[in-house]
Amino acid sequence: MNFISTEGKQKEAVPFSEALLYGLAYDGGLYMPISVPRLKDRFWQNINKLSLTDIGFEIARLYLKDEIEDRDLRNIIDDAINFDAPLVPLHDHVHILELFHGPTLAFKDFGARFMARAFAHLHKDKDREIVILAATSGDTGSAVAHGFYKVPGIKVCLLYPSGKVSKLQEQQMTTLGENITALEVDGTFDDCQRMVKDAFSDQKLRDQILLSSANSINIGRLLPQTFYYVYALSQLGIQNKPVFSVPSGNFGNLTAGLIAAEMGMPTEHFIAATNANDVVPKYLQSGEFHPRASVKTISNAMDVGNPSNFDRISYLYHQSLDEIRKHISGYSFTDEETRKCIREVYEKTGYILDPHAAVGYLAGQSWLEHHDVDVPMIVLGTAHPAKFRDVVEPLIGKELELPPQLEAAMQKEKKSTPLDGRYEALRDFLLEDLV
Ligand SMILES: *Cc1c(COP(=O)(O)O)cnc(C)c1O
């Protein structure tokens, strides 16, 4: 299966290995499969017998069989997805799909771990080492660091703004060591992003170092996110057509669900759940797409003002607003509503939502209020509540226990390299100090 740019100026399709290495197409578009393959009827009939990794293998094979042999692909998936994604019933027909049982306790582990292993496999015969360069404001960095940790042939350099990420996030990025280097930049997240961008446009540097990025637009992160949608359905029972409510920022997660539906997954509808950063819900209402500067909220992994995967959604539905509306509804919520939801769901059910899942839950309830149908609702639980304990603990009136992964990271010694916010400082580090 080859991949094509959403922009359409780059006419030739590229294999997965190339889309994975370059991230963005030459014309600035995002890579999508030339056509979305369908899973066979036999697959759907047997689905309740399949594990999460069985499902992952069957799906990934449709895209990668020309480039990765079955046995290797099976190993990549078993090694990457070595944690569960249980569907937990909440009340009535509402379920939470818990995607936070990986090493960094958020769904980004699926994408980052798969991508890292696919990368290592596809480039194992090349004699040049790959350097992954990424700017992070927190969560992406820890998922990428853990995803690529000890993966041979790859080094990771993460740039993060000093003093501007949470202690927990910083510990998760700076305590791994080995092939992971954390660069603590005296500046803002925007400075970090600018420095990374400058490195990618420095041809002299790129002649010497094979650079790649691991940001959320990479197709290698999107593909494994389809696995858990299908796995959710296998846990629910294939005879049901659920609604998926997806807490969204850059809309990669939702895009993966839409791709799974195009592969034949029975679904009733999708919900784009956002915080005050409501560009997509506004678009669904008015038909006008107006990116804005992001605003800060308590569900901060969704604080995105110009969602990068929107082009993929538009591409999937041939730029037709009517088509998009047929598949997706959008709702947005304030921090106050989100807080109230965490408190009320805890009081009613004993279940502790993190702020992102709470936005998803609220959106699911809104959709149900407007539709007089009796369908299962699956809310994607994108992060473990303990990751956001400062917000959650006062609402539920008790302390949250840190999961072992976080507890261990908190105990380890931080190791970071300070850099000033100039591009030259990054360049010199990459050329002289990265060993
Ligand atoms: C990244 C993230 C999101 C948003 O996902 P997108 O794919 O960018 O829409 C939601 N919740 C959490 C916890 C995240 O880390």
Tell whether 237 is covered by a domain: yes
Burial of 416 (0-12, 13-18, 19+ CB in 10 A): middle
Q: Which residues of 355-367 are buried (b: 16+ CB within 10 A; e: fewer)?
A: bbbbbbbbbbbbb
Residue 422, in any domain of the structure:
no
Residue 274: the pLDDT is: 98
| Interval 358-373 mean pLDDT | 95
40: CA distance to ligand 1 center in Å?
Answer: 30
- For residue 160, report the distance from its CA to the centre of ligand 1, in Å: 18
Beta pairing, strands 14-15 & 2-5: antiparallel
The residues assigned a catalytic role are: 108
- Kindly state the average pLDDT of the residues 300-307: 90
Could you tell me if the CB of 137 is within 6 A of ligand 1?
A: no
Token readout for 214 is 């691991």
| Structural domain includes residue 140 | no
Whether residue 430 is contained in a domain is answered as no
Total structural domains within the chain:
1
Structure letter (DSSP) for residue 10: S
- Best residue among 108, 140, 246, 313 to mutate for probing ligand 1's pocket (most ligand atoms within 8 Å of CB) is 108
Neighbours of 36 (CB within 10 A): 18
pLDDT per position as a tens digit, 287-301: 999 999 889 999 998
User: Which residues, in sequence order, are CB contacts of 168 under 8 Å at separation 6+?
Assistant: 387, 406, 409, 410
Alpha carbon of 78 to ligand 1 centroid (Å): 23
Q: What is the Cα–Cα distance from 298 to 288, expressed in whole angstroms? A: 26
Nearest CA to ligand 1 atom 8: 250
Residue whose Cα lies nearest atom 15 of ligand 1: it is 301
Residue 114 and residue 390 in contact, taking contact as beta carbons nearer than 8 Å: no
* Strand-strand pairing, 154-161 and 269-274: unpaired
Name the token pair of 135.
Answer: 């700017």
Give the range of the structural domain holding residue 352, as residue numbers without chain letter: 84-104+221-396
Tokens of 185: 């930049």
Residue 122 inside a domain? The answer is no
Region 344-363: what's the mean pLDDT?
98
Q: Give a yes or no: residue 79 inside a domain.
A: no
Please give the Cα distance from 136 to 158 (Å, whole number). 7
pLDDT band at residue 141 using 50, 70 and 90 as cut-offs: confident
Is residue 434 over pLDDT 90?
no
How many C-beta neighbours within 10 Å does residue 370 have? 9
CB 140, CB 108: distance < 8 Å: yes
Tokens 């299908």, located at residue: 230
How far out from the chain centre does Cα 208 lie?
Answer: 30
Does residue 300 lie in a domain region?
yes
On average, the pLDDT of the chain sits at: 93
Pick the more confident residue, 304 or 50: 50
* CATH number of the domain where residue 245 is located: 3.40.50.1100
What's this model's pTM, rounded to 2 decimal places? Answer: 0.93
- Tell me: pLDDT of 126 over 80: no
The neighbouring-strand residues paired with 270 are: 244, 328
Residue 253, Cβ neighbours under 10 Å: how many? Answer: 26
User: Do you know the residue count of the chain?
Assistant: 435
417: which 2 tokens?
């390299």
Residue with the smallest CA separation from ligand 1 atom 2 is 301
The torsion angle over the Cα atoms of residues 110, 115, 117 and 118, rounded to 10 degrees, is 130
Residue 230 lies in a domain: yes
β partners of residue 275: none
